[in-house]
Amino acid sequence: MRNPFRTRLGDGPIPPPPPRPADQIGPLIEALGDPLIVLDGYHISHANAAARALLGQHIVGDYVRLALRHPAATPIVAGDEDGPVELSGLGGHDRLWELTGGTIRPGIRLLRLTDRSGARAAERMRVDFVANASHELRTPLAALIGFIETLEDANGPEDAEARARFLKIMAGEAQRMQRLIDDLLSLSRIEADRYARPRGKVDLASIVGVACGELGVQGGERIRCDVPKRPVTIEGDAAQLSQLVQNIVVNALKYGRPDTPVRVTLTVDAGNARFSVADEGEGIPAEYLPRVTERFYRVDPGRSRAIGGTGLGLAIVKHIAERHRGELDIASAPGVGTTVTVTFPLATGELS
């Protein structure tokens, strides 16, 4: 009797039939990161882990329109279009997804969701940045133009006092524009280098000490500087780190209450250098803290402009810290003050 498990030629076992395409879909889509759904008609026959995490673990076997309720998804699901279409609100009100579809064979369609939330946030940041920069430049420029037009008519000797007052204001507005342009250029340079890790070794203790000495002229006796006498070596860009230190200390001097101390400390612990600046100002309410490093964001716009702030100081600090693998922490309590801390890893081979 012939062995049914051998071929007619007797050269080995009969190979199993090749898997049907539908049997291969599950493992294939499970290996991919984007949410993927396979439709058999209008029911979900397969969904990978990313799709189940986004739409619910129960969706396999469900009617697709129960999982994708967005009206824009209808033509993709029906096979009338392949997309892409944008779906908002899946997984959160601020999420944006791009839905595309394709036919595997008649009656079987593959749907793919691609997360575009990051791209939309970046575009919103770009639009907001242009709008804010334009506004910040337009305000002093309008003041300059107005005073110039006034001075064109105020040429008599009796106008000398008014001219002096107007010229002083014009000089202040021009300096404000110059500071803003300088900060914009600085931020642009820092962002261009954000992925280039600094390789040089610098003494952070020296940088902090020099900044305290230079700013002591501006802050009088307010700056209390506590810096180790021995070098604190980290891998970094000396110019950028000096800018970081000065931005944080100047902010503390500006926003701390007059005649209150600004405490600048540098400590070394567990392989890290911890630079900290504490003021005794009005403080920042907790709901505003996550946004204070955004470009042009100000808790009190009027006060910030009055004391010469550009709204870019902490954004610059954040980007410098990120480039140097540092961690930025801002702690504040209304009526008590604000403490800004940046923690940097020590250079390889340095002792804690």
Within 10 Å of residue 37's Cβ, how many Cβ atoms?
27
Question: Is the domain defined by 201-345 classed in CATH 3.90.550.10?
Answer: no
Instruction: Render pLDDT for 78-136 as a digit per residue (tens, 0 to 9).
Output: 888 887 888 887 777 778 888 999 888 888 888 999 888 877 777 777 777 777 777 77
Is the pLDDT at 19 greater than 70, yes or no?
no
CA distances from 279 to 213, 234, 248, 252, 275 (A): 17, 26, 10, 5, 14
Q: Which residues pair with 345 in a beta bridge?
A: 272
Instruction: Render pLDDT for 58-76 as a digit per residue (tens, 0 to 9).
Output: 888 888 888 888 888 888 8
Strands (E), 92-190: 96-105, 108-115
- pTM score over 0.85: no
**Do 282 and 255 contact (CB within 8 A), yes or no?**
yes
Question: Is the domain defined by 119-192 classed in CATH 1.10.287.130?
Answer: yes
What is the distance between the alpha carbons of residues 8 and 17, in angstroms, rounded to a whole number?
16
Is the pLDDT at 3 greater than 60, yes or no?
no
Question: Is the domain defined by 21-115 classed in CATH 3.30.450.20?
Answer: yes
Q: Is the dihedral of CA 87, 92, 95, 97 positive or negative?
A: negative
Q: What is the pLDDT of residue 131?
A: 73
Q: Within the chain, which residue ranges are assigned CATH 1.10.287.130? A: 119-192
**Do 275 and 338 contact (CB within 8 A), yes or no?**
no
Instruction: Render pLDDT for 178-207 as a digit per residue (tens, 0 to 9).
Output: 888 888 888 888 877 777 788 889 999 999
As given in the structure block, the two tokens for residue 6 are: 């051998």
Q: Which residue has the tokens 């709901």?
A: 287
Across the range 276-304, mean pLDDT stands at 83
Contacting residues for 128 by C-beta, under 8 A, at least 6 apart:
295, 296
